[in-house]
A and B are shown apart, each in its own frame.
Chain A
Amino acid sequence: MTNTDTEIEEKLEEEVPGNEKGAIVVHIEHLKKSFGTKEVLKDITFDLKQGENLVVLGKSGTGKSVAIKCLIGMLTQDEGVCEVFGKEVKDLKETELKELRQKIGFLFQSGALYDSMTVRDNLAFPLTRVLHMTDTAEIDKLIEEMLDNVGLKDAIDKMPSDLSGGMRKRIGLARTLIMKPKIMLYDEPTTGLDPITSKEISELMLTMQKKYKISSIIITHDIACARITSDRMVIMKEGVITAEGTFDELESSKDEFVRAFFK
């Protein structure tokens, strides 16, 4: 581990409860969320354990993304419990929420790269703004290491508009992982990609999870991605969880709705 790694680890490591393997890092219980008269989350309950990859599978519009947005404080639930590292997210103060967000990585569906910046600046942004790193040599070293991890070292000075969809996702993943998060939230990471790139991204997610010992929640409706990445899966239907288990258990389920995903 380099000095830079150690420095970031120290900044992020401070007293994270549930750091031991198997401990519950995310706890969601009876979560409810409505937008106007539309009840999107009706009753969601699940946990995420340390080092685990949890895949949340469901049709579009069933509230999968809403659930993880509650986890990171982008949305506030109407009812229920939404705890990360033992802390209720909606009760956190602004500074506490900011601290929590440093421990959680969020990969958006589109990659959400900053259009006006090069790949280098995209990756440097959280380091300089959030971790307040100033040493450019250290920053460059970290950026190169992270780009090497996602196999895109040559793209360092490219603009996001010069990258393909798959490359954008990889860079997005690198930008998130550069903060060394404890939990990763993936919002449909393989949507819009061809099957080969989709498989590459899924394998990359798994590699990164093992390398950095991250717990992940993966929102998807891509069964191939779920097969590669999942330790455990939950299936959502119209705002409620209808099934839970490993990939193999759910694949052999007799429930027609569950089976429909595996056809």
Chain B
Amino acid sequence: MEQTATSKSTKILEEVGVQMSFMGGFFRNIFRSGFEWNELIRQCYIIGYKSFGLVAITGFILGFVMTLQSIPTMKEFGAVSFVPSMVSISVIREIGPVIISLICAGKIASSIGAELGSMKVTEQIDAMDVSGANPMQYLVVTRIIACTFMIPILCVMADALAVCGGYFGSNISSDVSATLYFNKAFHSVEFSDMVPSVIKSVFFGFAIGFVGSYKGYNSNGGTESVGVAANSAVVNASLWIILLDAVAVQLTSLFVYN
């Protein structure tokens, strides 16, 4: 029993060590010569542009549904006029970055995990390595940086579309002018609401890129491990997003909203 516990904790510590070494490799390779700018742009296109449709629909429906769900309750309190503010604040501060990052974890982390996993299984990464090229710089650094840049951009765009979705939701049950709605929505939002939200989405983006790359790059075995890498990339990235969000909420409560 005691031996099992020891071997489990040894495995956990080993895993942490490997992850730390992988992260160290990532940071070292950012500053090495021969940075892969073309591959970074290609990854930004794949991660950012190709995820925009999904993120846009999700963001729009998020605002739309939130408005429709909250109007009846707000009516009971005679506070329907606060709906635009409520939607914009909750979406920008919290729901937007978290939901969009979770959606991106499902789409992007799994795709990175599966792509690098299949490259590992088919010895493509080994082939790069033994040729004297740097697979870490070409495959990992570009994907993590692309995620770190593109996820915040996607989150901001989704926030904007969620506010638009809220406007459409308001117009289903009542007739609200666009000027009034957007005035109400943006009047209550301050710059201090945007900054923590963008900062935390940067960390979410890093987590998505890092976990996806780590799981794929370190997958072992046959084709089954590709599926395992994709699956565990989504699960771990989602978990990291929720944990980071919990920390971010505490920090913003302490330093921004106080």
B177 within 8 A of A: no
A132 and B119 within 8 A (CB): no
Give the bracket for the number of chain A residues in contact with chain B: 20 to 34
A102 and B127 within 8 A (CB): no
Q: A112-B122, A115-B124, A129-B34 are in contact. Are A106 and B134 (CB under 8 A)?
A: no
Question: Of A98, A106, A110, which one neighbours B122 at CB under 8 angstroms?
Answer: A110
Q: A108-B123, A110-B123, A113-B124 are in contact. Are A129 and B130 (CB under 8 A)?
A: no
Give A106's nearest chain B residue, CB to CB: B130
B129 and A129 within 8 A (CB): no
Which residues does chain A contribute within 8 Å of B124, judged by CB atoms? 112-115
Chain A: minimal CB distance from B233 (Å): 18
How far is A142 from B166 in the complex, measured between Cα atoms in Å? 59
Give A132's nearest chain B residue, CB to CB: B34
Give A100's nearest chain B residue, CB to CB: B132
B130 and A98 within 8 A (CB): no
A179 and B131 within 8 A (CB): yes
Instruction: Tell me the total A-B contact number using a CB cutoff of 8 A.
Output: 57
B240 within 8 A of A: no
B130 and A101 within 8 A (CB): yes
Chain B residues numbered 88-147 whose CB sits less than 8 Å from any CB in chain A: 118-119, 122-124, 126-134, 138
Question: Of B130, B133, B134, B138, which one neighbours A74 at CB under 8 angstroms?
Answer: B130
Give B131's nearest chain A residue, CB to CB: A126
B132 and A74 within 8 A (CB): no
Give A102's nearest chain B residue, CB to CB: B132
Give B127's nearest chain A residue, CB to CB: A112
A129 and B123 within 8 A (CB): no
Which residues does chain B contribute within 8 Å of A109, judged by CB atoms? 123
Which residues does chain B contribute within 8 Å of A74, judged by CB atoms? 126, 129-130
B34 and A106 within 8 A (CB): no
Chain A: minimal CB distance from B116 (Å): 11
A101 and B126 within 8 A (CB): no
The 3 closest A-B CB pairs, nearest first, are: A112-B127, A129-B133, A112-B123
Q: A residues bordering B, Cβ < 8 Å?
A: 72, 74, 98-99, 101-102, 104, 106, 108-110, 112-115, 125-126, 129-130, 132, 172, 175-176, 179
Since A106-B130, A114-B128, A126-B133 are in contact, a sample of 19 more A-B pairs with Cβ atoms closer than 8 Å, ordered by chain A residue number, is A72-B130, A74-B126, A74-B130, A98-B132, A101-B129, A102-B132, A108-B126, A112-B122, A112-B123, A112-B124, A112-B127, A114-B119, A115-B122, A126-B131, A129-B34, A129-B132, A129-B134, A129-B138, A172-B127
What are 16 contact pairs spanning A and B, CB under 8 A?
A98-B132, A99-B132, A101-B131, A102-B131, A108-B123, A109-B123, A110-B123, A112-B124, A114-B128, A125-B128, A125-B131, A129-B131, A129-B133, A130-B133, A175-B131, A179-B132
